[in-house]
Amino acid sequence: MVKIHALLDEGLILPRLEARDRAGVLREMSKKLEARYAPGLDGTLLDKLLKREELGTTAIGKGVAVPHCRAKGLKVPALLLGLSPEGVAFEAVDGKPSHVFFLLVSPEDNPGAGLRLLAAIAGLVRRSRSLSSKLVKAPTSAEIIEALRAEEEKARA
| Contact (Cβ atoms closer than 8 angstroms) between residue 98 and residue 90 | yes
Note the pLDDT of residue 147: 97
Alpha carbon distance 49, 132 (integer Å) = 22
Q: Tens digit of pLDDT for each residue in 52-84?
A: 999 999 999 999 999 999 998 888 899 999 999
Cα–Cα distance list, 79 to 56, 66, 93, 148 (Å): 20, 10, 23, 13
Radius of gyration of the chain (CA): 14
Helix (H, G, I), strand (E, B) or coil at 82: strand
Phi, then psi, of 57 in degrees rounded to 5? -60, 150
| pTM for the model | 0.95
Domain of 45?
5-156
Number of domains in the chain: 1
What CATH number is given to the structural domain containing 48? Answer: 3.40.930.10
Q: Tens digit of pLDDT for each residue in 16-35?
A: 999 999 999 999 999 999 99
Note the pLDDT of residue 151: 95
Residue 53's contacts (CB-CB under 8 Å, 6 or more residues apart) are 22, 26, 67
